[in-house]
Amino acid sequence: MVLYAHIRESAGALDLDAAAPGEAVCDSPWEVARRLGLGGGVCLWLSEASRGASPNAEQKAFLRKTRCTVGPFALEQVDAMREWLHEGASRAIITLDGTAPLDVALPAAIARGTTGLPAERLILLLSVGPLGDPATLATLLQDLEQVAARKGSGCLECAAPDTVGAVGGVLLALTMPSGAEARTRETDEDNLVQALTPFTSNDRLRVWVSGIHGAKAGGAGAAAKTAQLHAKVGELDALGVDLLAPACLGGGGESSGLLDVGACLSSCVHTDRPDGLMTTVVTQEDGVALGLVYSNPTSLAAALEAGRGVYWSRSKGEGGALWRKGDTSGAYQTLLRVELDCDRDAIRFTVRQHGSPASFCHKQSLSCWGAASGLGDLEATLARRLISAPEGSYTARLFGDTDLLRKKLVEEAQELAEATEPDHAAAEAADLFYFAMVKLVSAGATLAQMEGHLDARALKVNRRPGNAKPVGHRHRIDTPAAPPTVPPTVPPTAPPTAPPTAPPTPAEAPPSSTAAALRSPGVLLCGAGLIGLGFLLGRVGRRA
């Protein structure tokens, strides 16, 4: 995650440390906060009032579109913590400060106070005293050993029960040094980070650190200190440690000691190119790649500041220049996330592409790799049909007949429920997805919105029973099973009867073709299950 921007909340509003300069200055402080979290995440430090209450509407909207950690919560505030996690907070910070002396071991106390909450989404706040005191470090390492997983998962995002400890991570809040400690602080911090590597290098525990010497220092020499801290972020990232600190966008925070998100991110990227450019893959929200471009510290800072796709063009001018995607064509991009790969030698921009047409490629196609496929292509086709459809288009008929569309949705859902063979289930799912996408497009919704709801539901911690609707509910489908056919009793003396003939083929068979279906294999990841969509394009193509 590299850097978590530390933002304080008070009475439902944000208390930003400084106005982000340049294009990041906008009407909504929540949008500024979103951009601060694009390169890693946001840690929303809640007021005492908010820690005891559920998030309000504005806070819920922020949680849905930002990787946001919230807290700190005392164990007795578990109900409010549950609501914040349920509404989309990626993690919650818990603290044992102020609680009575523990009568059980640390992991048992945490489990008792957070019953029913996923341990991988909990961050334990630990205050760390004078780093120069060997006893302080020894006590800290003992506490970490208690809460860490017994073995590493090899993947910090994996959450198998045996690879998650009492919590998913810890936030080490370092106290400000004074006197003699200040002179040895940098060495003491390095010793601390090295002592943490058995936990971070094996993915046994996610570790955040706040209070690194110089962060939010300001004053004389602040610019030099801030530059050193930007480099320090890269060093910490290489060791698996993330930094929590007040941050800004687009530079300009040196005098106040704020860390620039773009500079911190750039310090973590490795490149072997002589020009220092960083390989950048641009993808849509669904992960489909749009193109390959390049970034450098200047373009990365500009992209985060503006919250849109900004890259470095090698062909503009001598030595290249900023390329603000869409300034000329109108096909601009809303920047949703910036992530580094596991080796830190490539960047991924996740964007929402705009324009008429929505195109990333200079040849006016969405992707530099040609036409899309699967559900993305279906969505684009249906959007075109909604505007202009050829004569006799079945899709146009559905758009104009809401009652027919409703009946087909119910019909196809029933047929999918009754399918038993793999290919049959895939074919019926393809039918249902086609009609569902028609409904989605006709309602003005998008596939990305639907996927956003799936992602949000994966973060829910309050589970519903999931039982069927009661009998008589208007959404209940009760289709009585056909009574079994009882063969007539034939007297022994009667002549043998001819075997019954096969039932006639229905007059209106489903408009599908096995040959057409086999041309378009595919798979859709939907929630926690995989549904084969082997027949999607073959069957949909005939209808559209």
Region for 199 from its dihedrals, namely left if φ exceeds 0, alpha if ψ lies in -120 to 50, beta otherwise: alpha
- Of residues 256 and 315, the one with the higher pLDDT is 315
Q: Which domains are assigned to the chain?
A: 3-266 (3.20.20.70), 278-353 (3.10.20.810), 373-458+511-544 (1.10.287.1080)
Report how far residue 313's alpha carbon sits from residue 120's, in angstroms, rounded to the nearest whole number.
41
446 and 440 in contact (C-beta within 8 Å)?
Answer: yes
To the question of pTM greater than 0.75 for the whole model, the response is yes
Separation of CA 526 from chain center? 14
Beta-bridge mates of residue 311: 323
Residue-wise pLDDT tens digits, 244-288 = 988 888 766 566 678 889 999 999 999 999 999 999 999 999 889
The amino acid at residue 319 is G
Residue-wise pLDDT tens digits, 506-539 = 333 333 332 332 223 332 223 333 233 333 334 4
pLDDT beyond 70 at 29: yes
What is the residue-wise DSSP string for 448-481?
A: HHHHHHHHHHHT--S----PPPPTT-TT----PP
User: Could you tell me which residues come within 8 angstroms of residue 15 by beta carbon, excluding any fewer than 6 positions away?
Assistant: 7, 8, 9
Q: Where does the pLDDT of residue 160 fall: very low under 50, low under 70, confident under 90, or very high at 90 and above? A: low
What would the two tokens of residue 147 be?
Answer: 């809460």
pLDDT beyond 50 at 24: no
What would the two tokens of residue 200 be?
Answer: 């971070």
344 and 265 in contact (C-beta within 8 Å)?
Answer: no
DSSP state of 485: P
Closest by Cα among 350, 345, 347 to 284:
350
DSSP state of 254: G
